[in-house]
Amino acid sequence: MKAIVGLGNPGDQYAHTRHNIGFQVIDAIADSYAVHFKSKGKSLIGTFFLDGEKVLLVKPQTFMNLSGESVFDVVDYYDLDMEDLLIIYDDIDIDVGKMRIRQKGSAGTHNGMRSVIYHLKSDEMARIRLGIGKQDNIPLDKYVLGKFTPDELSIVKETVEKAAKAALFFVKEGINLCMNKYNVR
């Protein structure tokens, strides 16, 4: 079993914000496989099978900075190993439209990922970081909770689709081949 977790904030007011790009990837995968979500603990969880492998799609329903609580509950309940977990989230240190896939690492400046690492007591999980860029003239909290500009929307749509494909490739082939295929050199 594999779990693909998209980080974001619950609630309609956050649905299309920069911080919720992880949820957008989960929704794109769910749409492709007609997955329906059910509330379970602190998350919305949907399941489907990909080449015989059960896949959990997870959208934590805690706010971003408490994402680790939800992710811990899922990992604990389903008894997942770190190599079976993929976290997808936004990154202000990467330009809009860019994507980086890593096998492990620190949380960087991302409080949601910091919470995940804290609660799992490990940074050994795969992750897809999606660039949302940053603007120094806008306070960070307002920027990440803001919506993409009209010019960015088509780029973001392509990035979400590419990240969804990469997540599915991770399920089939593992993180190393996924990094080799999708990380641009």
Per the annotation, binding residues are: 14, 63, 65, 111
Is residue 131 within 8 A of residue 94, CB to CB? The reply is yes
Judge whether 110 counts as a catalytic residue: no
Is residue 69 within 8 A of residue 107, CB to CB? The reply is no
Is residue 167 within 8 A of residue 29, CB to CB? The reply is yes
Given 19, 36, 110, 119, which residue is catalytic? 19
Number of H helices, E strands in the chain: 6, 7
Which two structure tokens, joined as six digits, stand for 88?
């997808």
Which two structure tokens, joined as six digits, stand for 171?
């399920």
Q: How many CA atoms lie within 13 A of 67 on its CB side?
A: 27
The annotated binding site for tRNA is made up of 14, 63, 65, 111
Which residues share a beta bridge with 5? 58, 87
Which two structure tokens, joined as six digits, stand for 83?
């190599």
Catalytic residues: 19
